[in-house]
Homo-oligomer: A and B are copies of this chain.
Amino acid sequence: MAIKINETHDPNLTSWVESSNISGNDFPIQNLPFGVFKRTHVDEEPRIGVAIGDQILDIAACVRANLIDGPAAESCFSSHLNDLLALGPESWSILRLHLSRLLRADSSVYQAHYELSDQILVPMSQATLLLPVEIGDYTDAYASIYHATNVGRLFRPDNPLLPNYKFVPVAYHGRASSIAASGSEVRRPKGQIRQLADDQPVFMASTQLDYEVEAGIIIGPGNQLGAAIPISQAEQYIFGICLVNDWSARDIQRWEYQPLGPFLAKSFMTSVSPWIVTMEALAPYRSPAFSRPLGDPQPLPYLFALGDQAQGGIDLTVEVYLCSSLMREQHIEPMLLSRSNLTDMYWTFAQIIAHHTSNGCNLCPGDMIASGTISGPSEDSLGSLLEITRGGKELLALPSGERRAFLEDGDEVIMRGFCERGPYARIGLGECQGCVLPAELPFKG
């Protein structure tokens, strides 16, 4: 079921883009993630590129220079990936192979046309990275049993993990319009908050602003309404993966979420990292599905496939860093808050897709499905402040001497993700970053 390892994954490959060969960089030639960019301060159309070291390969420019061709390459004259997404895995794979061959140190095409490198490369430092996808529908899952248990304990002490959790890959519809690219400022939301159990609610700025570190898959070709996707085919519908910060206002959430689920506590902003790492690039880092403890029910047949059990996980490490205004003033490095791994998810993305479409619901090119908060079993793998501070009760000490229950204005949250395994190259997802701004003043209306 998972994509086979091929020549593009060869750990011995290097590129003529020297910065991509530096050990530890997120974008070696084995990665080639797709994004949308334009040169900052240049009046030009956004277009599709791949990250290579500290550069962006401008695919449209490569097509114009006759260095590559084909329908996938030609879909890159666009301000979003959606047309490319609709083409499907074979087209993506052909384009990826062409790009890999073009970027290799021994590329004959490059050697014949090395004078073109200024035309086809844009330094990342001179580019603005945009939201890469027009996201039609956004679904957020809840796939970490550790997160579900930790949060459940705070919201429902007597009933932390609900009885459906081990049967249903629980998910809900999120707000698509407020998904923004990494780097977008995060305005502290206002909302109805009930501070004590018998109080009247008041409308005020959230005092319990939080992040959640997640991974999001981007859907390639969709399915027809009414035609469920069998789990054995589910991965063919995934183009790639990015980091997601599901910013959350816990005080708003606690009051609003019954009975229809989270709404305004989440819909003020969701940040995503700008580079979509393809499922093909992730092939060397696949892992077995979550190993259910003895006594846990087996997945129902529509959620079970041998290939998914064997390879449905992704060995992706995600890290969250925090940097306060004071830390920036004092030149203190961002503080690592957590390091967790996508293999700790109770449900695989294939299971989530099979479930999502099992009622006939149609997925479309550009839909995003996020994992839910990636929390692991250990104290240093908790993917939200809610979990780290036990709902704000155990303050977090920052290296500046400050303390945090939840996020303060000026706090910057940085998420990073990467895969490394055995002989294979380390590849990264880049960063998902956002800085908290104070709440808006009252309505002008």
Contacts and interface: CB of A to CB of B under 8 A. Distances in A.
A424 interface: no
**Chain B CB within 10 A, most for which of A142, A233, A256, A440:** A256
**Chain B CB within 10 A, most for which of A170, A189, A263, A355:** A263
Q: Is the interface of A mostly helix, strand, loop or mixed?
A: loop
Contact of A367 (B173, B177, B203, B261): B177
A172 interface: yes
Contact of A172 (B173, B191, B297, B367): B173
Contact of A361 (B255, B264, B302): B264
Contacts of A259: 152, 155-156, 162, 170, 257, 261
B225 A360 contact: no
Q: How many monomers of this chain does the complex have? A: 2
Contact of A301 (B200, B203, B228): B203
A190 interface: yes
A164 B255 contact: yes
A57 to B, nearest CB: 31
Interface string A330-361: 00000000000000000000000001101111
A221 interface: no
Contacts of A190: 228, 358-360
Contacts of A136: 136, 176-177
A358 B170 contact: no
Contacts of A360: 178, 187, 189-190, 268-269, 440
22 contacts: A137-B175, A137-B176, A164-B255, A167-B192, A172-B261, A173-B263, A178-B361, A178-B362, A190-B228, A202-B300, A225-B269, A226-B268, A227-B440, A228-B440, A228-B443, A230-B444, A231-B445, A259-B261, A264-B355, A264-B358, A268-B361, A360-B440
Given A172-B260, A177-B367, 9 more contacts: A168-B255, A177-B222, A187-B360, A189-B359, A190-B228, A191-B359, A257-B261, A264-B361, A268-B361
